[in-house]
Amino acid sequence: MESMRTKCFQANTCHRVAVKPFEFSDGHTARVGDAVEFNQHAVLSDAVTYPNPKEFDPGRFLNKGRSVVDTGIGWPFWGVPRMLCPGRWQVANVTKLVAVYLLANFECRVEDTRGMNFEWRDALVPNAKTVLLMQARQKE
């Protein structure tokens, strides 16, 4: 979960276009055709919710009763209530299986960690030129 929080692939989520004029509770308005997005980067970087938000803390979510497939305003990664990603459990399970397989069978390291990602518009994009070095582990 900490990797998702700190390296979220999109700064904004829940992209919507107003089909009729709309006024938010704080007075902001959206005209017909205006794009409205939710800034999940700001939520996932909030120091009140996540102390030391710029620091990668692999134990941040341990024993907190949280799950990678959780949803809600504090964890907008999977969308909004009426349009949640129905495949989030499949994505979470396959990601775990691939990680376990790779860690059990290979020694892995990145050749050079500089420039591994770059930002394009509101997305954090992996650099296609990053080289992942993998060596099969010796069978015991």
- The pTM of this model reads 0.68
Give me the mean pLDDT over the 127-138 stretch. Answer: 92
Task: Using DSSP, state whether 109 is helix, strand or coil.
Answer: strand
Residue 133 has pLDDT above 90, yes or no: yes
- Residue range of the domain that includes 10: 2-136
What's the structural domain count of the chain? Answer: 1
Give me the mean pLDDT over the 119-137 stretch. Answer: 86
* Residue of higher predicted confidence among 134 and 37: 134
What is the tens place of the pLDDT at every residue in 14-67?
788 999 999 999 999 999 999 998 888 888 899 998 999 999 999 999 988 888
Q: What is the pLDDT of residue 75?
A: 84
Task: Using DSSP, state whether 95 is helix, strand or coil.
Answer: helix
Q: What is the pLDDT of residue 88?
A: 94
Q: What is the pLDDT of residue 77?
A: 82
Q: How far apart are CA 43 and CA 55, in angstroms?
A: 15
Q: What is the pLDDT of residue 86?
A: 92
95: domain CATH number is: 1.10.630.10
What is the tens place of the pLDDT at every residue in 58-112?
999 998 888 889 988 888 888 877 788 899 999 999 999 999 999 999 999 999 8
Q: What is the pLDDT of residue 83?
A: 82
Handedness of CA 129, 87, 105, 8 (dihedral sign): positive
Taking alpha carbons only, the member of 105, 116, 104, 112 closest to residue 133 is 112
